[in-house]
Amino acid sequence: MNAGYVRLSRDDEKRNYSSIENQKLIIKQYAAEHGLVIDRWYEDDGVSGYIFDRPGFKRLMDDLDKEIDTVFVKDFSRLGRHNAKILLLLDEFQERDKHLIVIDDHYDSEASEDDTIGITTWFNERYVKDTSKKIRHALGAKQKEGTLMTQPPFGYRRTGKKKERFEIVQKQAEVIKLIYDLYIQGCGYRKISTYLTQQGAPTPSMSRRERELEEGRNTNRHVASFWSDGMVKDILDNDFYIGTFRLRKRARNTVHGKDRRVPKEEQYMFENHHPPVIDKTTYDLVQELKEKRTKSRYKGSRKQWIGSEIPNPFGSCLYCKDCGSKLTPICRQTSSGTRKYYICSTYNSKGKRYCPKAHLIEEQDLMEDVVNYIRMCRNALEEAIASYDISDFTAEQKTAEEKCSAIKETIAAAKKQLRILFTQKIKDLADNPGNEDLIKESYDSIQQDLTARIHALERKHNELKHTKPETPDRKATLHTSLEVIDDMIQKGILNRKDIEILIERIEVDENGMPEIELKYGLSGWVRYCAAEELNRRENEIILAAMQLIRVDDRGFTSAKYLSKQLTEMGYPKSTKSVQPYISMMIKTGMLQPCENKRTPYVIVKSAEEIEKLIKNFRKSCEPRQMEVMDDTGNLLASNSTLLTDNRAATCNQMAAESGMNDG
């Protein structure tokens, strides 16, 4: 049996090399001149001759021992362009006793005495290598200049007369921003991908298919219906979203070899090349968090769904000062409400033998300490903080009407794509009448995806129409990091993103006192001690209580009265929490308990005597320890002892409530 082999690749110049049909014609004419007929054809169209893993060529070699006796090819370059492999192939034909005829190169394996075959095949190999070299040089020149046309990633499209610019696709950009925000809030790849799929967010391949349909193109590329962990990771890794254009990220060492990753320092990078979707601060924060989570084997915020309140805003930066373990967040329901606190994970799981103290700290106390520290940094380093570019901390809330309007636009765009799809389908059926089944099958799958998406969007639109419109909160325009800091201080509370941006590490000692380390080197400029800050606050409250007693002309006071007055002055205190201050006043001789419930504490000192006590109190105040003395100068009470005892008592009480063992 006689077989013919033909090949054409993209490496070949169409002017210099015959097409598949012309190669077949040349082989048929040669066979006819020698009284032969070609019984079977093997062909490879669009496959490089430098590689030998070609479908048609492999079938030819597999069938060589079955029925084929003679193989005809137009020239050696059609057989392949790898010098060494071609010479080995010629030996293989002779060993298998098969007849090979190469027409244009006048080669016949049964009567070959040509010693220049190696030179011919070497020239064929040089051609493909030279072509590859020219292509690499041309691509390299464009890469160096940043003019190479590449496919834009999810969130962008090309625009301009020559498609030379990148333009942000706003709806896709919102998905990208959401991914970054969710990751900073503590969500992992899996939780984010699941959430995006549930919300019906289009995947990158779905968005690419939509763009192709708008442009009147139809490809057979796979379209993913669900978000995957890899998609989320790629978006979080890609610095294209901060306006950086990278080229030569991969390269090949050999012709048709495998791509290898090029180190970042050897890539061609163009900063501020196109409009960013994500600010650089947020991107850098995400990269830092990824590295931190890898080292600490972070498992995400457990038992927490996206959209719910974050139960442990300090979960990523809070550590035990003694054993170095992370503090575990605990949320308990008590008779007075919900109590949130953090405790040493080693103590909580293994007991006192491994870490002697609970290192327990309430979330509210920790939040106050952090906000006060930030306030100190703000006052001391106003100019330094203002130089940092921290932006876009708050996500803009949309009303139900705005959401409905956005969904309607999406539905209209999807229906337009469906109409274009029908038009393209009719055109393809008319141009290819013999492939009706294949065309219908290809278009039907796309049509079903689009129709299902339109129905899902319409359902979501109807749900929002019957939802009471949300009242949008007033959104402060934060232009500088200083305004952001001021906004945090004014709110008196930080969210997960604020903490991730500002806090480097917090270590809690055995008394539940935090040592806070800020980022950007701020902690090196401003010294902060939680105990000293608590002392200062306690001194303010003690002073305020003494002044309230001095001006009280009723001659008596009560815990209820002091609690109400202190709360109105900005020191929220319950009647129970006021009792330690009353005890201090009794020791100074300022108050005296009374059995009459209407006048529980009689004021026994005059206004002048109380004023003298107040002056002594102010003189005795020192940065590290504030003490209360009587009019003779004797120490009666130390408010630092008071506050330490109060916090320690709270720690002991909560540790007991948590049911921890003693090892």
Segment 626-640 shows an average pLDDT of 44
Considering only residues 11 and 37, tell me which one the structure prediction assigns the higher pLDDT. 37
Question: CA–CA separation, 566 vs 538, rounded Å?
Answer: 12
Number of domains in the chain: 5
Do 204 and 325 lie in one domain? The reply is no
Backbone phi, psi, residue 230, to 5°: -65, -40
Going by the DSSP 8-state scheme, the letter that residue 225 receives in this structure is S
CATH code of the domain in which 624 resides: 1.10.10
Check whether residue 483 and residue 443 sit in a common domain: no
pLDDT of residue 460: 72
Arithmetic mean of pLDDT, 214-219: 74
9 falls within a domain: yes
Residue with tokens 């306690």: 538
pLDDT for 571 beyond 50: yes
- Mean pLDDT computed over every residue of the chain: 76
Query: How many other β-carbons are positioned within 10 Å of the β-carbon of residue 576?
Result: 9
Residue 204 is assigned to a structural domain of this protein:
yes
Torsional class of 646: left (φ above 0), alpha (ψ -120 to 50), beta (otherwise):
alpha
Q: Are residues 487 and 583 in the same domain?
A: no
The stretch 192-220 carries a mean pLDDT of 84
- Residue where a domain stops, chosen among 416, 435, 465: 465
Give the domain extent around 408: 400-465
Q: What is the pLDDT of residue 277?
A: 92
338 contacts 629 by C-beta, under 8 angstroms: no
**In this predicted structure, which of 34-48, 151-165, 401-415, 466-480 has the lowest mean pLDDT?**
466-480
> What is the band of 472 on the pLDDT scale with cuts at 50, 70, 90?
very low
Strands 2-8 and 337-344: unpaired
Asked whether 226 and 203 are in contact (CB, 8 A), the reply is yes
Residues 127, 227, single domain; the answer is: no
Say yes or no: 433 and 508 in one domain.
no
Are 388 and 482 within one domain? yes
DSSP conformational letter for 326: B
Q: Are residues 28 and 84 in the same domain?
A: yes
Q: Are residues 488 and 365 in the same domain?
A: yes
| pLDDT over 80 (residue 298) | no
306 lies in a domain? no
Min mean pLDDT across 91-100, 139-148, 625-634 is at 625-634
pLDDT, residue 231, reads 93
Is 536 a residue whose pLDDT tops 90? no
Q: What is the pLDDT of residue 159?
A: 85
Q: For residues 60 and 102, state if they share a domain.
A: yes
Residue 282 gets the label, from left (phi > 0), alpha (psi -120 to 50) or beta, of alpha
Angle ∠(315,509,485) on CA atoms, nearest 5: 50
pLDDT at 479 over 60: no
With a CB cutoff of 8 Å and minimum separation 6, the contacts of 282 are: 180, 184, 392
Beta bridge partners of 44: 7
Does residue 470 belong to any structural domain of this protein?
A: no
Q: What pLDDT is recorded for position 497?
A: 80
What pLDDT digit, counting tens, does each position of 303-357 carry?
Answer: 454 444 545 788 778 899 999 888 888 888 877 677 888 999 899 888 888 898 9
Query: What 3-state DSSP class applies to 638?
Result: strand
Give tens-digit pLDDT for 240-270. Answer: 899 888 877 666 555 555 667 777 777 777 8
CATH number for 183: 3.90.1750
Residue 175 is predicted with a pLDDT of 93
43 within a domain of the structure (yes/no): yes
Domain identity same for 9 and 85: yes
Higher pLDDT, 39 or 572: 39
Pick the last residue of a domain from 296, 330, 363: 296
Classify residue 323: in a domain, yes or no.
yes
pLDDT, tens only, 122-180: 666 666 666 666 656 666 666 566 666 677 889 998 888 777 788 899 999 999 999 99
How many whole angstroms separate alpha carbon 532 and alpha carbon 528?
8
Question: Which residues are CB-contacts of 160 (< 8 A; sequence separation ≥ 6)?
Answer: none
CA angle 237, 241, 244 (to 5 degrees): 95
Tell me 299's DSSP state.
Answer: -
Query: Are 504 and 604 within one domain?
Result: no
Does a structural domain hold residue 513?
yes
Same domain, 592 and 629: yes
The CATH number of the domain where 93 resides is what? 3.40.50.1390
Cβ atoms of 506 and 366 within 8 Å: the answer is yes
Look at residue 595 in the predicted model and tell me its pLDDT: 83
The answer for residues whose C-beta is within 8 angstroms of residue 9's C-beta and 6 or more apart is: 44, 46, 47, 48, 49
Q: Give a yes or no: residue 40 inside a domain.
A: yes
The values of phi and psi at residue 86, to 5°, are -65, -45
Give pLDDT, residue 246. Answer: 83
The last residue of a domain, from among 296, 326, 342: 296
Q: What angle do CA 636, 638, 643 make, to 5 degrees?
A: 140
Q: Quick one: pLDDT at residue 178?
A: 92
pLDDT recorded at residue 1: 86
Helix (H) or strand (E) holding 591: strand 591-593
More confident residue, 57 or 376: 57
> Strand 318-320 and strand 503-508: pairing?
parallel
Distance CA 440, CA 449 (A): 14
